[in-house]
Structure formats: structure tokens, C-alpha cells
């Protein structure tokens, strides 16, 4: 064992901890963990040699004092835990009286009413696991109307997040090869879900060969009672290309960076980044300095997925989730609950 002065490692930590850090200096390449002991505060923490904060994704250094989740054992920086100084002191004490759950595990804790992004629970209180069976409320016999309600609720809770409109689209080539990617929902119509893309892309080629596709929306939110709420909507159906006028309407309301991308990028093609950067900057200057317009290129296309199957999944707190399957029977939809 060897000792290193904390002040020489990090000035901020040096001001907080004025003694030494004891590091296990055996071959770290063969060890999965390094033992770090802060002798002044009598703190003992096992920290992975190669580990990143669950919240900010930055790697820990050997002078960090991460907070470890009591459920999954993953760690977060102290500042990322959003815990008070008093709570951190309790977590660091030898006689630990608090239990910390990271945001990935908080739904597994037993005091659902106190759930937050990062929360601390007292170990002195008895732990009681719970269980129940959730049932989805059928708010409409039309699943697209029900989707619209769920979608609106999610958008209200995540109004400033562009990815709130995101979904996964799976396509299949004529040889049976499956491909999946994320897109943004451009518009919700009474009869389907509208997306826009590059007509030269793999997804467009797949859809030309096989118009059957599936999309999935996943929303992780909280109820008004601060319980974790998971909602998923799976949609299967036939994809049709929209008319030119419909495509133009969608393109005209696109933000500038999307219009520039449509002009200079061929989706999926290998590029020389520096050249692409020059092309971008030149076009951006023309638009901003000389008010050059960017009309819709012919390769920008829009599709609508017309569903014949829509499945809703919802789980709240520690209740077993429910699934509600709508299948199309002619012009009407038939709902039925299926096991999660």
C-alpha cells in the first residue's frame, strides 16, 4: 500500500480532505476495484477502476467520492445525486442510516409516494414489498384517439424535449432482413401516423419492397402521485407514401437545420466530414446573409403508417402492467386485454 497526498491530486478535494488517500497499488489491470479510504472522515468506498456516473456519464477519477446505489451498485457523482450535505454525511458515515436509489432503480424502492429523480430512504423504517394488477382505462373505442390522449399527456409533461415525439420504426427487406431506427412523429392523422425521411435511405428501400412495418413509442413518466408510469404503444400496419403536396406542407415547417441537412446529406452515405462541414457552412451563409430559399428536394419523402393493430401497455408503481390490444375488423376496432 502506498499513500498520495490528496492536495496533489485535486485542489478541491484537497481543501475538503486534508490527509491522505490510501490506494491499493497492486496491478490495477488485474483488479476490478480499487479501495479508497479517506482517513480523516473514516469513509470507506469501493469504486470501480473503470466506471462512469449513471447521471452525467463522465468517468470517475480516483479522488472522486461517488454515491453508490443500494440496489444496482452503480455510482453517481455526489453533485449528480442532488443530495443535501447532511444526507451525504449520513450516507458516508460508518453507521449508515440512509439508503440511496439511483434514478434507474428508484421504481424498485418501497415508498412509492416519495419517489423522485434521486431519493433517499430511511433504513430505520420497515421495508414492505407490494404488488397489484393494473388495468388500462379504455378512454375511446378508437385506438388512434386513445393514442392521441396518451401522446398529448406525454407531450405536456415533456414539452421542451424534442425526443418526446420519437418512436422506433422496424422495416423488413424483401430478403427478410429486419432493420430498426428512431424517427420523429411529424403528424398524427385520423387514419395513421406520418413520418418523413430521405427517399434514398435503407428504410425507404425496405418500404418500397415490403410496405409492412411496425412502430413503437415508449414513454417513461410519473403520475400526479409521483409514481413511476411506463407506457408503450406498439403499432403494426401498412405504409403508404404521401402525395407531393402533403410532403411539401411537412417540409415547409421544418426547422432550418433539417432543411440544410436535406440539401447536403444523402442518408447512410459515407462522407468526408471536413467537406461536409464546408458545404454546410456555405449553404448556411447563403440562407442567413442572402435569404436564399431552400425548396424541398425530390428525395425528401413522407410516409403514413395506416394501422391494423395497435397495442397499449401501461404499468404504474409496483402493479403488474396491463396490455390492451386493438385489432381492426373491417372499419371497426375490437379491444381486448392481454397478459403482460
Q: Grid coordinates representing 290?
A: 442572402
Residues 6+ apart with CB under 8 A from 232: 216, 217, 218, 219, 312, 313, 314
Tell me the average pLDDT across 223-243: 94
Q: Residue 258 in 3-state DSSP?
A: helix
| Alpha helices by DSSP H, 214-303 | 244-252, 256-264, 273-290
pLDDT score recorded for residue 128: 58
Top-confidence residue, 190 or 121: 190
Residue 254, C-beta contacts closer than 8 angstroms, at least 6 positions apart: 262
Q: Which residue has the higher pLDDT, 73 or 17?
A: 73
List the strands of the sheet with 33-38, edge to edge. 2-5, 20-23, 33-38, 43-48
Query: What are the grid coordinates assigned to 100, written together?
Result: 440511496
Check whether 339 has a pLDDT greater than 60.
yes
Quick one: average pLDDT of 34-39?
39
Please give the pLDDT value at position 60.
64
| Portion of the chain with pLDDT greater than 70, in percent | 68
pLDDT at residue 130 in the model: 83
Q: What digits encode the pLDDT tens for the residues 75-85?
A: 777 777 777 77
Decide if pLDDT at 12 tops 80: no
How buried is residue 65: exposed, middle or buried, by Cβ count under 10 Å (0-12/13-18/19+)?
A: buried
C-alpha cell of residue 251: 417540409
Q: What is the mean pLDDT of residues 96-103?
A: 63
Total Cβ atoms within 10 A of residue 126: 6
Q: How many CB atoms sit inside 10 A of residue 142's CB?
A: 15
pLDDT at 82: 74
Instruction: Give the pLDDT confidence score for residue 114 in this predicted structure.
Output: 44
Q: Are 53 and 77 in contact (CB under 8 A)?
A: yes
Distance, CA of 152 to CA of 204 (rounded, Å): 28
What's the pLDDT score for residue 204? Answer: 97
Q: Which sign does the torsion angle of CA 172, 178, 184, 189 carry?
A: positive
**Contact predicate 262/248, CB 8 Å:** no
Domains of the chain, earliest start first = 2-122 (no CATH), 133-338 (2.30.110.10)
Q: What is the mean predicted confidence (pLDDT) over 120-147?
A: 76
Q: Which residues contact 60 (CB under 8 A, 6 or more apart)?
A: 47, 48, 51, 52, 53, 66, 75, 77
Average pLDDT over residues 149-162: 87
- Mean of per-residue pLDDT scores for the chain: 78
Note the pLDDT tens digit of each residue in 289-334. 999 999 999 999 999 999 999 999 999 998 999 999 999 988 899 9
Query: Is pLDDT larger for residue 105 or for residue 35?
Result: 105
In the chain, alpha helices (H): 6-9, 11-16, 78-81, 85-92, 143-157, 202-209, 244-252, 256-264, 273-290
More confident residue, 114 or 143: 143
Cβ(237)–Cβ(307) under 8 Å?
A: yes
CA distances in angstroms from 201 to 84, 113, 242, 291, 330, listed in the order given: 50, 46, 16, 29, 33
183-232: per-residue pLDDT in tens? Answer: 999 999 999 999 999 999 999 999 999 999 999 999 999 888 889 999 99
Q: Which three cell numbers stand for residue 188?
A: 398524427
- b/e burial code for range 34-59 (CB count within 10 A of at least 16 → b): bebbbeeeebebebbeebbbbbeeee
Is pLDDT of 103 > 70?
no
- The reported pLDDT for the residue numbered 76 is 76
Within its chain, how far is the Cα of 142 from the centroid? 28
Amino acid at each position: 500500500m502506498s499513500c498520495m497526498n490528496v492536495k496533489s491530486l485535486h485542489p478541491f478535494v484537497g481543501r475538503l480532505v486534508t490527509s491522505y488517500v490510501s490506494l491499493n497499488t497492486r496491478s490495477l489491470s488485474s483488479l476490478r476495484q480499487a479501495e479508497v479510504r479517506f482517513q480523516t472522515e473514516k469513509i470507506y468506498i469501493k469504486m470501480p477502476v473503470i466506471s462512469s456516473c449513471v447521471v452525467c456519464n463522465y468517468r470517475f477519477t480516483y479522488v472522486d467520492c461517488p454515491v453508490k446505489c443500494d440496489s444496482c451498485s452503480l455510482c453517481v457523482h455526489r453533485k449528480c445525486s442532488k443530495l443535501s450535505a447532511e444526507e451525504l454525511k449520513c450516507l458516508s458515515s460508518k453507521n449508515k442510516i440512509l439508503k440511496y436509489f439511483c434514478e434507474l432503480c428508484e421504481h424498485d424502492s418501497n415508498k412509492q409516494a416519495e419517489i423522485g429523480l434521486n431519493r433517499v430512504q430511511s433504513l430505520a423504517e420497515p421495508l414492505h414489498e407490494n404488488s397489484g394488477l393494473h388495468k388500462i382505462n379504455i378512454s375511446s373505442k378508437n385506438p388512434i384517439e386513445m393514442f392521441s390522449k396518451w401522446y398529448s399527456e406525454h407531450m405536456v409533461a415533456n414539452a421542451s424535449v424534442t425526443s418526446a415525439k420519437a418512436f422506433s420504426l422496424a422495416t423488413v427487406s424483401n430478403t427478410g432482413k429486419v432493420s430498426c431506427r428512431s424517427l420523429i412523429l411529424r403528424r398524427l392523422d385520423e387514419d395513421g401516423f406520418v413520418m418523413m425521411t430521405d427517399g434514398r435511405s435503407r428504410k425507404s428501400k425496405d418500404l418500397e419492397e415490403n410496405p409492412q412495418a411496425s412502430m413503437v413509442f415508449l414513454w417513461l413518466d410519473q403520475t400526479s402521485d409521483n409514481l413511476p408510469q411506463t407506457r408503450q404503444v406498439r403499432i403494426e400496419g401498412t405504409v403508404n407514401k404521401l402525395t407531393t403536396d402533403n410532403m411539401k406542407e411537412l417540409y415547409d415547417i421544418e426547422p432550418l437545420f433539417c432543411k440544410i441537412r436535406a440539401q447536403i446529406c444523402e442518408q447512410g452515405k459515407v462522407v468526408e466530414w471536413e467537406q461536409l462541414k464546408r458545404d454546410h457552412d456555405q449553404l448556411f451563409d447563403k440562407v442567413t446573409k442572402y435569404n436564399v430559399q431552400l425548396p424541398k428536394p425530390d428525395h425528401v419523402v413522407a410516409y403514413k403508417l395506416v394501422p391494423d393493430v395497435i397495442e397499449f401497455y401501461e404499468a404504474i408503481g409496483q402493479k403488474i402492467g396491463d396490455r390492451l390490444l386493438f385489432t381492426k375488423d373491417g372499419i371497426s376496432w375490437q379491444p381486448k386485454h392481454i397478459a403482460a
